[in-house]
């Protein structure tokens, strides 16, 4: 009797520890390397316990997405929204796909300017998910160092005080920081734990 209880106890422990190994795609669009850093951090985390694939958006065919259990789709923020190549992927997703979707994006705005300069990114993920009945698991975002043309735009349109701009650019050029990448990994881990 004791041997059977011991075996039953071990079987329960093994079942609780069993992790479902999923096939996961991390697809991203990056111009300056910021979003690529986040994508690689997410991929690194996922690879620890799942079959993970890393691809640039231009390598992705929409019809291949249903080959995955989970798709992490990432983009740089362009004109306050996801990049055109990333939005094309979202637009091409068929109604009620079998995969789960999680998003991530990088932007050059501060938290104070997020609503004006980057909130369309999250809205684009949410709108596409609602319209196409996609199981959307959420998104992660962080700052990224802006390209020279975006720096000029920010200087001209968003942070017009020379002193404030100098302080802003000094800080934003540090991103994504190791802490940002740690948070991206934590986001990915949380999504996959919820699905396991």
Digit-coded pLDDT (tens) for 121-149:
999 999 999 999 999 999 999 999 999 98
Q: Give one DSSP letter per residue of 35-90, joined into a string.
A: HHHHHHHHHHHHHTTSEEEEEEGGG--GGGGGG-SEEEEEEEEETTEE-HHHHHHH
Buried residues in 138-169 as b, exposed as e (16+ CB within 10 A): ebbbbbbbbeeebbeebbeebbeeeeebeebb
| CA angle centred on 85, ends 84 and 88, rounded to 5° | 85
| 124-to-8, 77, 80, 117 alpha-carbon distances in Å | 49, 11, 11, 14
Q: Is the dihedral of CA 195, 106, 65, 97 positive or negative?
A: positive
Question: What is the pLDDT averaged over residues 50-74?
Answer: 97
Question: Does 16 have pLDDT greater than 70?
Answer: no
CA distance 28 to 35: 7
Digit-coded pLDDT (tens) for 108-121:
987 666 677 788 99
- What is the CA 162 to chain-centroid distance, rounded? 33
Question: What is the pLDDT averaged over residues 94-108?
Answer: 96
Measured in Å, how far apart are the chain's first and last C-alpha atoms? 33
> What was the pLDDT predicted at 79?
85
What's the mean per-residue pLDDT of the chain? 89
Structure tokens at 66: 């249903």
CA distance 181 to 177: 6
176: preceding bond cis by omega (within 30 degrees): yes
- Domains defined for the chain, CATH in brackets: 22-195 (3.40.50.360)
Structure tokens at 139: 């998104």
Digit-coded pLDDT (tens) for 144-178:
999 998 899 889 988 888 999 999 999 999 999 99
Structure tokens at 22: 């999923």
Question: Does 8 have pLDDT greater than 70?
Answer: no
| Rg (the chain; Cα; Å) | 20
Per DSSP, the three-state class of 160 is coil
Higher pLDDT, 17 or 63: 63
Residue pair 76/29 in contact by the 8 Å Cβ criterion: yes
């Amino acid at each position: 009797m004791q041997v059977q209880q011991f075996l039953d106890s071990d079987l329960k422990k093994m079942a609780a520890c069993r992790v479902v190994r999923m096939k996961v795609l991390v697809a991203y669009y990056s111009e300056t390397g910021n979003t690529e850093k986040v994508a690689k951090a997410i991929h690194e985390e996922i690879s620890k316990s799942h079959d993970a694939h890393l691809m640039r958006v231009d390598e992705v065919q929409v019809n291949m997405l249903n080959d995955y259990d989970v798709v992490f789709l990432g983009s740089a923020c362009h004109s306050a929204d996801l990049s055109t190549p990333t939005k094309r992927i979202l637009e091409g997703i068929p109604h009620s796909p079998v995969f789960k979707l999680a998003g991530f994006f990088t932007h050059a705005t501060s938290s104070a300017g997020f609503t004006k300069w980057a909130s369309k990114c999250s809205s684009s993920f949410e709108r596409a998910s609602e319209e196409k009945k996609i199981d959307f698991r959420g998104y992660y975002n962080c700052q990224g160092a802006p390209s020279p043309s975006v720096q000029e735009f920010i200087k001209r349109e968003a942070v017009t005080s020379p002193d404030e701009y100098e302080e802003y650019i000094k800080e934003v050029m540090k991103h994504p920081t190791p802490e940002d990448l740690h948070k991206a990994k934590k986001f990915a881990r949380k999504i996959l734990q919820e699905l396991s």
